[in-house]
Amino acid sequence: MIEQGFRGNRFYKVWLAALLVVAANGIYYYLRQLDEGLAITGMSRDISWGFYISNFTFLVGVAASAVMLVIPYYLHHYKKFSRVVVFGEWLAVAAVVMCGLFIMADMGQPQRAFNILLHPTPGSVLFWDMNVLTGYVFINFIVAWTTLKAEKSGLKLPGWVKPLVFISIPWAVAIHTVTAFLYAGLPGRHLWLTAIMAPRFLASAFASGPAFLLILLHILKKIARYEVEPEAISTLSKIMIYGMITNIFFYAMEFFTAFYSNIPDHKETLEYLFFGLEGHDKLVPWVRSSALMGIIAVVMLLFSKVRQNEGTLVFGAVLIFLSTYIDKGMALVIGGFIPSTLGEVVEYTLTWPEIAISLGIWAIGFFLISVFFKMTVNVRRQNAR
Amino acid sequence: MNGDEKVSRKEFLKLSGVAAIFGLGGPLAFEILAAGEYSAENDLAGTIRYGMVVDMRKCKEGCNDCAAACHFKHNVPDHKSKKIEVKWLWKEPAKHLFQDRDYAIEADVSPDKPFLTLCNHCKHPSCVRVCPTQATWKRKEDGIVMMDFHRCIGCRFCMAACPYGSRSFNYAEPRPAIAKLNPGFPTRTRGVVEKCSFCAELAGTGEKPYCVSSCKEGALTFGNLNDPGSEVRKLLRENPSMKRKAGLGTEPSVFYLV
Amino acid sequence: MFKMYNRGMVVSGLLVFLAIVTFPFWKIFLNNMGKSMEKNSVFSSTSGSKENRFMPGPNINPAVAFALKSGVSGCVEDRNFMRARHMRLLDNWRDEVVRENKREYVNTKGEHFEKSLTGTCLKCHSNKEEFCDSCHKATGVEPYCFDCHHTTGVFSGNSAGDSTGGFQAGETGHLPGGNK
């Protein structure tokens, strides 16, 4: 069935080839990184997690968002999602693969990655994160593949898939909660040391994931001329908006606690992000645009006319995607290190090798998305004949 | 399901089974994630707990003997770059180490006075708790927070977890940046995290750490915090002392006399 | 008979596969073109007698004389043991020293050594090229231990930094022979 993912016209083949070129460029810089060390990235002694972990954090959210399709369809028999569920699951698989690649790119000694399994440490959140992410990619892949295979051969869905689907629901919540726990339990990092970290992560996931999926489905419609049920689009957009509203609300809660309590440790990072601190303000334009984009998108999409118009809906989804990418990725992860544990404001500058490697990983992710989506569309088209 | 339907025995057993798993799983998760044996929660009486007292009254301004000795003996590289620097022991302005003081009116420490800082070998180290491979752990016999460079995967979770900024990552290959190699001690390679080890290779030989023995002013005292008769305990009894970020619960083993 | 579809793709794919699978053989052949057979052989030796072809050459460190004086008869274990098991010994030492803090080794003869690649083994076998590399190169083994543990006779970095205080160049950690 996978060969259906490579069947397409010339433009599709060119697209896949272009993605492979970007991926190859990323691999070249990764080999340089293996040789020279992570010094070629922008990370430093004070900012020890950077762009790679930012992308990882954002993509775990995208992966978790598949649950927002699975719950209505499998748990509540919302038939309108019948065509769209499998796309959400494929997006989740591609997102988790990208997460794994970003982690490997970030590690100082990637060839020792197996040590996490050889020397299990149940007290370490990272150990659990690795487990749940690996489990999630398997669960989602198996469920998506089997449902599509069943569709292809016209057979009923095998009984053993249902329990897997039900497991994937708390599992999706788990992957993002555990990822939030990576941050939320560290005593020296006050931007992250908040109980609302996990809820914030989930809210932002339920905004960014559906946003991403809406964009992809729009591309699918325009380029492959394949459509899902319009009610599915409408429901997805509602999930996205509620997710984003909750995300903004949680963010506002952080502001209140920080500034009303007036505790410097709580305030300083938010000050750095939104207003600059001690003259350092590299991230301010990014963070402010992220906030602006988020608010504009939410206000815009409150109006049903805007939601029902494809063009404006996708525009809103793009705004939400970019807003959450900047906020959850750059602002949250890098902001956590500023000011440093020694009270200094040290800034972070991306380097080209870092960008190249990240683009390469995104290219691999898009390659997977393209192949999985194309496979699904081709299989369904063949069935329809 | 309305109230009239009966639940079959099979269904009841299935439900109870699932509920039991959740019920038991909760306390189990709590046990697993609790600090437990990954900190020194266990009774340490009778074992050694190494600690250091830094007497800033005796520490000479401009003197760097301790750091130079440590960095030479342990082949710590000098990359001459703040971005990728590796340091085990160094001097930092007081305002960076003790951030909760009102230096304007609390007169005994000047905010810019360089204070010596190093890994605190905490009693409840957060770095140990988060390490996914146990490449760093707290030794039961002497409380040193140890590094295993062979096992470290370079994930830098420990660096995020340390509230004191004591840890350095080898972003670049260290050897080209080592001015004078000490042949008796290995170097590290790029991709692993390192920090002060309280000279673990000397523990048990009776020798003091290199920083302590190289200080001409006698500002550094090293010993067993669990032994009320030790020099460090004596100093702490007779002088008011400070430790870094006391409220975080890590309980550092490095104390400052001002 | 049977028609082969996509013959072009199949045949070229097979050729590429063969090239990749035989890579070790033709690459080494190309590398060694023009070099004399004598130098390549693992049985050649640039120093020492034919008998002691795996012992270090004339560059035996004075520390060995010290070790022999303090009653140590030579290497930690004998030649056959080391040939078969030196890697396993070193792996055990690594875990026992670093993780269990057990630094003393008692060999099969009852002699005491400090478990240290840098401080014990490489102290005597200080000529890495003649001793370690000659066998490793021939067998195609690249242990990364030396990235960290090879410090004798290594020309360190040329940065201008200077350590203060009276530390002699070549200052060592612990000597072999149980000297504490």
- The tens digit of pLDDT for each residue in B147-188 reads 999 999 999 999 999 999 999 999 999 999 999 999 889 999
Q: Of A204, A244, A219, whose CA–CA distance to A87 is shortest? A: A219
- Count of Cβ atoms closer than 10 Å to residue B239 Cβ: 14
pLDDT at res. B103: 83
Answer for the pair A187, B126: CB distance below 8 angstroms, yes or no. yes
**Residue C160 to residue B179, Cβ atoms within 8 A:** yes
Model confidence at C134, pLDDT cuts 50, 70, 90, reads confident
B190 near A CB under 8 A: yes
Q: Which of A357-371, C13-27, C125-139, C151-165 has the highest mean pLDDT?
A: A357-371
Half-sphere exposure of B82 (CA within 13 A, CB side): 7
CB contact under 8 A, A123 and B32: yes
What CA–CA distances, in Å, run from C29 to B164, C34, C42? 55, 10, 16
| The pLDDT of residue B241 | 93
Q: What is the mean pLDDT of residues A329-340?
A: 93
Asked if pLDDT for residue B200 goes beyond 70, the answer is yes
With CA atoms as reference, report the closest residue to A204 among A71, A52, A314, A61.
Answer: A61
Question: For testing the chain B interface, which of C159, C175, C179 should be mutated: the one with the most B CBs within 10 Å?
Answer: C159
Question: Does the beta-carbon distance from B84 to A44 stay under 8 Å?
Answer: yes
Q: Closest to A115 (Cβ–Cβ): which among B95, B133, B173?
A: B133
Q: How far apart are CA A344 and CA A338, in angstroms?
A: 7
Mean pLDDT, chain B, whole residue set: 89
The verdict on a CB contact (< 8 Å) between A126 and B160 is no
Alpha carbon dihedral A77, A79, A80, A86, in 10-degree steps, equals 80
Task: Please say if the pLDDT value at position A211 is more than 80.
Answer: yes
Q: What is the mean pLDDT of residues B28-34?
A: 70
Tally of residues, chain A: 385
Q: What are phi and psi of C153, to 5 degrees?
A: 70, 15
Query: Residues C159-169: pLDDT tens digits?
Result: 333 333 223 33
Across A317-331, B132-146, C51-65, least confident range: C51-65
Task: Give the residues across from B92 on adjacent strands.
Answer: B115
Is residue C52 over pLDDT 70? no
Mean pLDDT of A122-143: 95
- Chain B nearest CA to C155, separation (Å): 8
Q: Where are the alpha helices (DSSP H) in chain A?
A: 10-36, 51-64, 67-70, 85-106, 115-118, 125-153, 161-184, 197-219, 230-261, 264-274, 284-301, 304-308, 310-324, 335, 352-384
Rounded to whole angstroms, how far apart are CA atoms A73 and A161? 14
Predicted local distance difference test score (pLDDT) of residue C73? 65
Of C101, C152, C180, Cβ closest to residue B183: C152
Q: Would you say residue A209 has pLDDT above 60?
A: yes
> Does B213 have pLDDT greater than 50?
yes
Q: What are phi and psi of B56, to 5 degrees?
A: -70, -10
Q: Is the dihedral of CA B221, B224, B226, B227 positive or negative?
A: negative
Task: Examine the pLDDT at C68 and tell me if it is beyond 60.
Answer: no
Alpha-carbon gap, residue A19 to A371, rounded angstroms: 12
**Dihedral (C-alpha) B127, A54, A129, B252: value to the nearest 10 degrees?**
10
Q: Is the pLDDT of residue B124 over 70?
A: yes
The per-residue pLDDT for B11 is: 84
The single residue listed with the structure tokens 């939320």 is A184
* Amino acid letter, A234: S
Q: State the Cα–Cα distance between residues A112 and C98, nearest whole angstrom.
A: 17
Q: How far is C5 from chain B (nearest CA, A)?
A: 49
Reply yes or no on whether the pLDDT at C108 is more than 80: yes
Q: Are the C-beta atoms of C44 and C37 separated by less than 8 Å?
A: no
The 3-class secondary structure across A257-271, one letter per residue, is HHHHHCCHHHHHHHH
Say which range, A256-265, B7-16, B233-242, has the weakest mean pLDDT. B7-16
pLDDT digits (tens, 9 = 90+) for C85-106: 989 999 999 999 999 988 888 8
Return d(Cα B99, Cα B121) in angstroms, integer.
20
- Nearest by CB to residue A123, choosing from B33, B162, B248, is B33
pLDDT at position A311 over 50: yes
Percent of chain A predicted with pLDDT > 70: 100
Min CA distance, C95 vs chain B (Å)?
9
Three-class SS of residue B90?
A: strand
Distance between CA atoms of A210 and B102, rounded to whole angstroms? Answer: 49
Q: Measure in Å the smallest separation between the Cα of C105 and chain B Cα atoms.
A: 15
Q: Which residues have a Cβ under 8 Å from the Cβ of B20 and sit 6 or more positions away?
A: none
Instruction: Report pLDDT for A348.
Output: 94
Q: When comparing pLDDT for A200 and C63, which is higher?
A: A200
- Give B198-241 as a DSSP string: TTTTTTTTTPPPHHHHH-TT--EEEEETT-TTSHHHHHHHHS-E
Look at residue A282 and tell me whether its pLDDT is greater than 80: yes
Q: Is the pLDDT of residue B37 over 80?
A: no
Q: How far is B152 from chain C (nearest CA, A)?
A: 12
Query: Among A9-23, A77-91, C15-29, C59-73, whose mean pLDDT is lowest?
Result: C59-73
pLDDT at position C71 over 70: no
Q: What values do phi and psi take at C61, rounded to 5?
A: -70, 140
> Token pair 């898939």 is at which residue?
A161
**pLDDT for residue C31:** 76
pLDDT at residue A170 is higher than 90: yes
Q: Write down the pLDDT at residue A207.
A: 95
Largest CA distance in chain A: 67
Q: What is the pLDDT of residue C75?
A: 79
Question: Cβ C154–B71 below 8 Å, yes or no?
Answer: no
List helix spans (H) across chain B.
Answer: 9-33, 65-73, 94-97, 126-130, 157-161, 210-214, 231-238
Tell me which of C156, C162, C174 to substitute to probe the interface with B (most B C-beta atoms closer than 10 Å): C156
Partners of C94 on chain B (C-beta within 8 Å) are: 150
Contact B153 A110 (CB under 8 A): yes
Taking the alpha carbons at both ends of chain C, their separation in whole angstroms is 83
pLDDT of residue C169: 32
Structure confidence at residue C126 (pLDDT): 72
Strands B254-257 and B50-55: parallel
Tell me which residues of chain C have a C-beta less than 8 Å from any C-beta of chain B.
94, 98-99, 101, 103, 117-119, 144, 147-149, 151-154, 156-165, 167, 169-174, 180
Confidence of residue C176 (pLDDT cuts 50, 70, 90): very low
What mean pLDDT value characterizes chain C?
70
Distance from CA of C104 to the nearest CA of B (A): 12
A38 touches chain B (CB under 8 A): yes
Q: What confidence category does residue C140 fall into, taking pLDDT thresholds of 50, 70 and 90?
A: confident
* Residue B158 · residue B145 · CB < 8 Å: no
Residues B251 and B122 sit within 8 Å (Cβ to Cβ): yes
Query: What is the model's pLDDT at position C173?
Result: 35
By CB atoms closer than 10 A (0-12, 13-18, 19+), residue A339 is buried
Pairwise pLDDT comparison (A22 vs C140), residue with the higher score: A22
Please name the residue of chain B whose CA is at the shortest distance from the CA of residue C168.
Answer: B182
Q: Is the pLDDT of residue C44 over 50?
A: no
